[in-house]
Amino acid sequence: MGARPLMPVDIPQISFGGGAVSPGVYARVDLQKFGSAAARIQNMFVHAEGGSSNRAGTRYINEVKDSAKRVRNVPFEFNEEQAYCLEFGDRYVRVVRNGALVLEAEKAITGATSTNPVVLTVNAHGYSDGEEVFISGVGGMTQINGQFYKVAGATPNSFELQGVDGTGFDAYTSGGTSERVYEIETPYLEADLGTLKFRQSNDVMFVVHRSHAPRRLSRLDHDDWILVEEQFASTLSAPTGVNTTNNGTGNKVNGYVVTAFNEETGEESIVSSRVVAVNDFGEIGFFVRVAWASVPGATKYNIYKDEDGSLFYGYIGSSASLTFTDNNIAPDFADTPPTSNRNPFAAAGDYPGAVGLHEQRIAYGGSTNTPLTTEMSQTSQFQNFNKSSPTRDSDAVAFRTVTGQGNEIRHYRSFRDRLFVFTSGAVWSARPGGDVDAITPASKKVSVELYLSATDVPPLTIKENMLMVSGPNNRGYEVHSIGVSVDTLGYSGSDLTVLARHLFETHTIREWAYIERPHRLVVAVRDDGVILCMSYLEEHQVYAWSEWTTDGAFESVASVPEGSEDALYVIVRRTVDGVARRYQERLHTRQFTEIEGAFFVDSGLTYTGTATSQISGLSHLEGKGVVALADGNLVQGLTVADGAVTLPDAASVVHVGLPFLPLIESMPLNAGRATMAKRKAISKVALRVLSARGISAGPDEANLQTYPARESEPWGAPAGLRTGVIELPISSDWELDRSIVVVGEAGLPMTVLAMMPQFD
């Protein structure tokens, strides 16, 4: 009986929605995600529909103020038209808006020397050495236009461009402007940046750190920001000039105090100075009239009285005018005034390490002295932590989250009707007690929701869920989602890293951000500078991980809305010309209609104008090997020298930057349990692609077959983008485990919708 002939087997993979999974999953053919998972997905992300695209490149913005020190990007969003990335560095903040540093008003340049260094004449510039300026519009000496420079040798009417040798530059003829990079001073050191906590309300951001008094950062305009230490007191002043007159006599001593009150906000000042009237109200018509001076912001005034010098005050009435008449009114000692401004954060050790907003109150907590105590302000009064005795519903609220362990509060998040308190040992929630609708001093319930340790990475709120980075001792190597449990009507957590443990083991997540539009991506910075990207759609059970790498290390991320998309700003540490530098860069949009608009290089810049072969302005990539997409044609093998590259042919639209390779590796190919122990050889693969070019495939990176770039394009036109099914022959040995690797060419777009390998 002859041997049974080999039969080709097709194993279509029509989705990558499972993302990259760890080798521990390779044998789990029973898992629902097995057929949509991959062994590796690098420099790509997974679409909700199941396909996978290479990420866009990053556009270079500028070097940070001091590349020797880490910085942190923080989003600030007032609305979609007024959103910013704040670059927090050692004792400073810079502002980035719409992909560019915010600059101060222009100063006119009236002269420039062709010397070493170049000296500019700018009358009354007001600059100091070490500050950074942007130069543009200079006539003659055009070599200095369109670049940032450090100020040196500043005099009242001139300054040097630090390190710029202008001996070979053209002579200055006229014009030009200098604009200083806008920044504000802060008390925060480089070591503080990782544990700064933020919460924003409209145009104000509250900033806390255990080593510093709480502060508020206010935006007045794009180039006008103020950082001030928070003052914890009623914003209404106590009334002054309080006096009494009376028409009675006797020996009964009555003391009076007055407070200012705002009916719109519900805020009440502390009490005025005490005044005394002697009146026993023995006859009809006897009275005491209390008067005071007007208080700005007050809509009425509350009057309180003590009796016989007790100094214990009870409410006797209010007045919209500046006087009140007491006709022997009995004080209501169940309604007492706030007697002093309360500041729970007055000294070192009491400075909060976490801040949140909930039900029109601000919450602070996590101080060194009381790490598990939460202080909530009065309703709508973020600076007022005063209390009355007995308490009122609008008074400040305090509570503790006690577990018997040495934990600390790290974050607050307002979610549905609860204030979630993330600590280093558990996730708590505070909510109203009884039948009331809001948390009050007398009505609050505090309980543990989940026993998960939170790190200093702030939780993300995404639709109906919260995401948190978890791990003991601040080692964040897990990501959990927290949402409502239909079964218990409480909150439950799901580990989103369980199938991709290899991406997290021995590592820590340091920062992350959520890019909602257009692809709903969570991007997390790992401690080794790799970005872990998760496509996240909880309602469709999509949480697909991939890895992003670059020539250097990602260190910080922030996502802010800009137009129809969310912009991701990244701090990247790169080694350029032998020197470590830190750059502010922005992930480019991936939307393009023609190949000329495709931007798939890192730390890149775009030239648009008259056709030229000399592309300059690349000094930030000096000595680096780069690629260019010139009028849609890929140019490789370029090296930046003297801040420029030379193209083989002139072009009018050129993107130049660092290359990165997109890659997908399939799971080991099996048609089920029966084929897992059989040797296999791949004969070909069919790929359904979308707007792609420069695709190769093979059994590994060393044995790739490239699909032809050109088909029927006119001579001189760039190769077109491919949409549809393409086939590539594969030459592979017989192996028990055999996979397909699909690689895109650096600088070109690639989207793979499905993979259909055929093997024997």
pLDDT tens digit string along 613-637? 999 999 999 999 999 999 999 999 9
Q: Is residue 446 scored above 50 in pLDDT?
A: yes
Residues 16, 544 contacting (CB under 8 angstroms) = yes
State how far the Cα of 292 lies from the Cα of 16, in Å rounded to an integer: 74
| Rg of the chain (C-alpha set) | 33
Which SS3 state, helix, strand or coil, does residue 675 take? helix
With bands split at pLDDT 50, 70 and 90, how would you rate the model's confidence at 24?
A: confident
Q: Which residue type, as a one-letter code, is found at position 706?
A: T
Residue 549 has pLDDT above 90, yes or no: yes
Q: What percent of the chain has pLDDT over 90?
A: 72
In the chain, the percentage of residues whose pLDDT exceeds 70 is: 93
* Residue whose C-alpha is closest to residue 64's, from 573, 582, 553: 582
> What's the CA gap between 735 and 699, in Å, rounded?
11
Q: What pLDDT band is residue 1 in, cutting at 50, 70 and 90? A: very low
Strand order in the sheet with 645-658: 553-562, 565-576, 579-587, 58-63, 602-615, 645-658, 625-630, 633-639
The chain-wide mean pLDDT, for the chain, equals: 91
Q: In terms of pLDDT, which residue wins out, 737 or 600?
A: 600
Region 8-14: mean pLDDT is 63
* Helix-then-strand count for the chain, H and E: 0, 60
Nearest to 371 by CA among 357, 351, 387: 351
Residue 283 has pLDDT above 90, yes or no: no
Strand partners, 192: none
More confident residue, 14 or 253: 253
Q: Determine the pLDDT at residue 539.
A: 79
Confidence grade of residue 760 (pLDDT, cut at 50, 70, 90): low
Spatial contact of 172 and 196, defined as CB atoms under 8 Å apart:
no
Residue 197 pLDDT level (bands cut at 50, 70, 90): very high
Per-residue confidence band for 734, with pLDDT thresholds at 50, 70 and 90: low
Question: Predicted confidence band at 586 (pLDDT cuts at 50, 70, 90)?
Answer: very high
- Close Cβ partners of 489 (under 8 Å, ≥ 6 residues apart): none
CA gap 508, 686 in Å, rounded: 38
Residue that the structure tokens 């100063």 belong to: 107
Report the alpha-carbon distance of residue 606 to residue 319 in Å, rounded.
67
Calculate ∠ Cα 303-304-306, nearest 5°.
150
Whether the predicted pLDDT of 63 surpasses 70: yes
Taking the C-alpha atoms of residue 197 and residue 209, their distance in angstroms, rounded to an integer, is 7
pLDDT of residue 421: 96
Using CA atoms, how far apart are residues 336 and 351, in angstroms rounded to an integer? 29
pLDDT at position 374 over 70? yes
Mean pLDDT, residues 570-574 taken together: 98
Cα 498 to Cα 592: distance, rounded to the nearest angstrom: 36
Q: Which residue do the tokens 């519900």 mark? A: 266
Give the strand pairing for 579-587 and 565-576. antiparallel
Q: What share of the chain is helix, strand, coil (3-state, %, to 5)?
A: 5, 50, 45
Give the 3-state secondary structure of 190-216. HHHHHHCEEEEECCEEEEEECCEEEEE
**Region 32-61: what's the mean pLDDT?**
90
Q: What is the pLDDT of residue 307?
A: 85
Q: Please give the average per-residue pLDDT across 35-54, as a whole number.
A: 91
pLDDT at 261 over 90: yes
- pLDDT level of residue 8 (50, 70, 90 thresholds): low
Label residues 740-749 b or e (16+ Cβ within 10 Å = b).
Answer: bbbbbbbbbb
CA distance 283 to 180: 76
**Short-list 98, 513, 69, 94, CA closest to 86:** 94
Say whether pLDDT at 740 is over 70: yes
Of 62, 144, 134, residue with least CA distance to 99: 62
What is each CA distance from 390 to 435, 441, 462, in whole angstroms? 20, 10, 40
Tell me the residue length of the chain: 760
Q: Model's pTM, two decimal places?
A: 0.92
* Amino acid identity for residue 190 in this structure: E
For the record, the structure tokens of 509 come out as 């997540």
Say which residue the tokens 């760039």 belong to.
718
Q: How far apart are CA 430 and CA 434, in angstroms?
A: 13
Provide the pLDDT for residue 569: 98
Q: What is the pLDDT of residues 670-682, one digit of tens each?
A: 644 545 556 767 7
pLDDT-wise least confident of 199-203, 387-391, 458-462, 556-560: 387-391
Which residue, 98, 68, 72, 32, is CA-closest to 196? 72
Answer with the residue of higher pLDDT: 437 or 158.
Answer: 158
Give residue-wise pLDDT tens across range 705-732.
Answer: 998 877 766 777 888 899 999 998 887 6
Vertex 556: Cα angle to 555 and 559 (nearest 5): 150
Residue 653 CA to residue 632 CA, distance in Å, equals: 8
Q: Which of 38-42, 154-158, 182-186, 413-417 has the lowest mean pLDDT?
A: 413-417
Dihedral, 503, 507, 510, 516 alpha carbons, nearest 10: 10
Residues ≥6 apart with Cβ < 8 Å to 435: none
Following DSSP, what letter does each residue of 379-425 receive, concatenated? TTBTT-----SS--TTS-EEEE---SS---EEEEEEETTEEEEEESS
pLDDT of residue 9: 55
**pLDDT exceeds 70 at position 4:** no
* 127 in Cβ contact with 118 (< 8 Å): no
Residue owning tokens 């002093």? 340
User: Would strands 19-20 and 37-42 be described as parallel, antiparallel, or unpaired?
Assistant: parallel
Say what the pLDDT of residue 12 is: 64
C-alpha–C-alpha distance, residues 679 and 23, integer Å = 19
